[in-house]
Structure 1
Amino acid sequence: MKNFFRSLQAKYMLIILLAIGLVQISFVGIAAILTGVTGNLEEERWHPNIIEEKWHEEANQLPSISAEEIKEHFAKWKQAFPEASMFWVDENGFLVEKMDVRETLPIQWTAAFTAKFIKDRYGGDPFTVIAFLGEEETNGFIVLEIPRVNFQSPMQTFYDRFGDVILFGTLFVILLFITISYLFFRNIRKRLLHLEQSMTARDKDGLPIQTAVKKKDEVGQLEKAFNDMVLELKESKKREQEEEQLRRELIANLSHDLRTPLTKISAQTYSLLKENLSPEGKQAVKTLQLSIRDIDRLIENLMSYTLLMASKYRLERKEVDVVRYVRESIASWYPVFEKEGFKVEVDLQLFENNHWLVDPAWLGRILDNVYQNVLRHAKSGKFIQVKTESTDQYDAFVIMDQGPGMKRESKEKGAGIGLSIVDMMVKGMELDWDITSSEHGTTIRIKKYK
């Protein structure tokens, strides 16, 4: 239950309840005001029929028909209806007395004008009552005029008076709710963005950075879970680094331990070749020497791959005339290919800029691995070509063979790690390479973009 009250859901529900409560309080207040005002208005309001009846009754009961009596009568009704206007036309048709009459009335009232006046006022605005004085119709008449707005319902009168207040009050409550909701969600969004920044930011070890947990709501639980994940990643990476270190040490020790007996075996095979052996025996010893050499090369590749993966293989880049370097490299391998019966074609043209910023040792290792790969996997094609290639985008060295292609299974093993070393070294020197292979041969390009 405690966690629920800390949650965002509980907080937003509280905002909604407060908004509903505020609306309810507002409506109760409006209802109370409305009840009081309408009650007062109801007490003050007269029905038109009652006014008409009372006006006639009092006109007929006037004790005497005199200016003073009429004035007192008008004053009495003026107190009850401040907006009313009244006037008296005597038996001779003369306008004798008037009170708050805003329109222009004639002094002499003819029968025609009187009839027209009655017709115009019937059912119109203002509400008009015409009553004869006394019991005789020959005493003249008095007129009462009241604006019809005074006969509106209390509710209508209330809205006329307080409609704007109700409208602006309702808008205020709505805007207050929207503002509080906006601030609530803005705070959530701000915290989520902060968590996103923590997820994308990286520490020196390449892992995300922990974030501060300020609240114990759902976002706070998410932040805590993220921090726990970061701790697990750090521990996992630490274990991985320790295992990697053990693996490198194991490979280094194994390489050293393997090279010692290989050296002895190589020495013994050299001694055997000096003995008087049969042709079959000499061939067996030579095959053994080739196997020893391949094992030594595989061990060297394994060591290089391990050092490259650990970023421990030293890189010293400098300006090198690469065309000359590749020409010297293939020249040193020429006797090897010639011994195996390869046809070697070399077409090395000068680039626009022959000097590349590379590590000579790394470039030599790349070429050696590619040549060795041709010897091991394209021996059946008996062909290798080394040439240059220039386009608008790059300069490149191209090494082609006519072997069965890399998709065909080879009896030789270990080529995969050699090409992995080529890939890491090429990219480490900020060069590029691609390899295409089919049943007609394999082509490797080592590129430098312009």
Structure 2
Amino acid sequence: MMRLFRSLLAKYMMIIILAIFLMQLVYLILAVFVFSLSKGIDETYSSDEADYEAIEKQWHEEGKQLQGATVQEVQQLFEEWKDKYADASMFWVNQDGDLVTQLDVTEELPAEWTPEYTARFIKERYDGDPFTVIAFVGNDESNGFIVFEIPREVFKTPLEMTYDKFGAVLLIGSIIIIFLFIFLSFLFFKGIRKRLLHLQEAMEIRDVDGLPVQIEVNKQDEIGRLQQAFNQMVDELRESKLREQEEEQLRKELIANLSHDLRTPLTKINAQIYELEKADMPASTANSLTVMERSIADIDKLIENLMSYTLLMASKYKLDLEERDVIRSVRESLATWYPAFEKEGFTVEVEIGTFKHNNWLVDPIWFNRILDNLLQNVLRHANSGKYLAVKTESTAQYDAFIMQDKGNGMKGITEKKGAGIGLSIVDMMVKGMEMDWEIHSNDHGTMIKIIKWK
């Protein structure tokens, strides 16, 4: 039940109920106010006296009784009606069209009434304001007529008069309630929007681990529960990332230990092969020993690459940058590898010029390792082309070393065991020394470019 009362739906329903209650309260207050004002207004005429038909009938009866009446008698009648209807006005026009007498007439009346003026007067007063009753004096039209006029407003009830006076207040009060409801609804949805935008910002912000940051939960409504679910998701992501890091660390330690353990038996095998090579044996046996020795060397190289890759991934492979003549380093590395390429029947073309600045800021061990991995890949995986070219290239934007072969391309390389790790090591070391590299490969060969931007 408490969860229901904390919900956004319950809060908005409370706003609607409050708006309805306030509107009813305002109507009640205004009604009491109007009623109290109406009680203070003098009730000049009773409901019976406010009956237009009764007044008209009585005025005609009074007119009939004036047969042969004098001016004083007519004036006396006017005064009696004036006592009863204080806001009324009356006058008498005789049979000759002369205005004989009048009482409290505010407008200017002609002294002589023509038939045309009389007809126009009757037409203007018909069903108009003021309420007008015209009665003949006596039993026929020959004695003229008497006129009774009174504003229709005085016949309204006190409540009607008060409503006419304060109806605008009621309308304004209703409008205020409506605008108050709209304003409260605006504030309500503005608060919801603000909280949702805050949650969106929290989803977009990342901490040092690349995970979203948690958000403070202030309310226990639907959005608050959404924020709690988001915080729970962040906790689960953090725990998952921690487990992943622990598993990654265990995997790296396993690879490092495995690499170390594998090298021990390989060293013993190499020692036994060396002892066997001293003995006299058939040529076929000697060839087999040579193949075994090369395979062991390949395995040792793969273990070394795996170890280096693990150390690089763990950021434990020390980087020691220093100014080094890279032209000289490349030439020395080629000189070391040249006998191996010559033995395999490679055609080696070397076009190494000089740069404007031969000294690059590199780690000598890392740089030589890059060269060794690339040259070894050519020797092992581009043997079908029997070709290697090493060149330099210099532009206004960069200096670069280019290695090119005529093998079967990178597809053939990646299908062979160990080449992917070697290239991954090259990638991490090149970028670690703030250089770039490019690979362009097809079925006719591969070109690799090591770039140093100026």
Contact in 1 for aligned 2:34/2:163 (Cα 8 Å) = no
Q: Write the distance in 1 (CA, Å) between the matches of 2:323 and 2:91.
A: 120
On the 8 A contact 1:86/1:101 being kept in 2, the answer is no
CA offsets, 1:91-138, max 9 Å, x none?
550353242524x32233334432332344345554432223455645
Kept in 2, the 8 Å contact 1:323–1:350? The answer is: yes
Identity %: 57
Pairwise CA distance, 1:274: 3.3
Structure 1's 179 and 117: CA in aligned 2 closer, same or farther, altered over 3 A?
Answer: closer
In structure 1, what residue type is equivalent to 2:106? V
Check if 1:10 corresponds to 2:5: no
For 1:224, the equivalent position in structure 2 comes to 228
Q: Of 398, 412, 425, which aligns to 2:429?
A: 425
Number of residues paired by the alignment? 446
TM-score with structure 1 length normalisation? 0.82
What SS does structure 2 have at the residue aligned with 1:109? coil
Instruction: Name the aligned partner's letter for residue 101 of structure 2.
Output: V
Q: Does 1:400 align with 2:407?
A: no
Distance in 2, matches of 1:50 and 1:123, equals 15
State the distance in 1 between where 2:133 and 2:356 align.
115
Asked whether the 8 Å contact 2:38–2:158 carries over to 1, the reply is: yes
The equivalent of 2:251 in structure 1 is 247
Distance 2:390 2:34 in 1: 101
CA deviations over 1:280-331 (Å, ceiling 9, x no partner)? 2332222222122211111111111111211222223445554554444434
- Gap change, CA 1:21 and 1:88, over 3 Å in 2: same
Q: Deviations over 1:254-275 (max 9, x none)?
A: 2222222222322333333333
- Mapped partners of 1:449, 1:65: distance in 2: 127
Asked whether the 8 Å contact 2:6–2:220 carries over to 1, the reply is yes
Structure 2 match to 1:99: 104
> Structure 1 181/260 Cα, relative in aligned 2: closer, same or farther at 3 Å?
same
8 Å Cα contact 1:131-1:143 kept in structure 2 = yes
Cα RMSD after superposing both structures: 3.9
TM-score, length-scaled by structure 2: 0.82
Counterpart code for 2:99: F
How is 1:19-34 mapped onto 2 (pairs within 5 angstroms)?
A: 19-23=19-23
Gaps of 5+ in 2: none
Stretches of structure 1 that go unaligned for 5 or more consecutive residues are none
User: Contact 1:317 / 1:358 at 8 angstroms: preserved in 2?
Assistant: yes
Aligned letter for 1:294?
Answer: D
- Is contact 2:373-2:426 (8 Å) kept? yes
Match in the other structure for 1:366: 370
- Name 2:289's counterpart in structure 1: 285
Q: Once structures 1 and 2 are overlaid, which stretch shifts more, 43-52 or 378-387?
A: 43-52
Which residue number corresponds to residue 350 of structure 2? 346
**Secondary structure at 1:259's aligned position in 2?**
helix
Aligned counterpart, 1:75: 82
Which secondary structure state, in structure 2, belongs to the residue aligned with residue 144 of structure 1? strand
The separation in 2 between residues aligned to 1:439 and 1:127, in whole angstroms, is 113
Structure 1 residue 378, shift from structure 2 partner: 0.8
* Amino acid of the structure 2 residue aligned with 1:19: A
Match for 1:3: what amino acid?
Answer: R
Distance 1:42 1:338 in 2: 134
What one-letter code is carried by the residue in structure 1 that aligns with 2:215? T
Matches within 5 A, 1:26-425: 43=47, 46=50, 48-61=52-65, 65-66=71-72, 68-69=75-76, 71-73=78-80, 75-76=82-83, 78-79=85-86, 82=87, 85-90=89-94, 93-94=98-99, 96-102=101-107, 104-135=108-139, 137-146=141-150, 160-349=164-353, 356-389=360-393, 395-408=399-412, 412-425=416-429
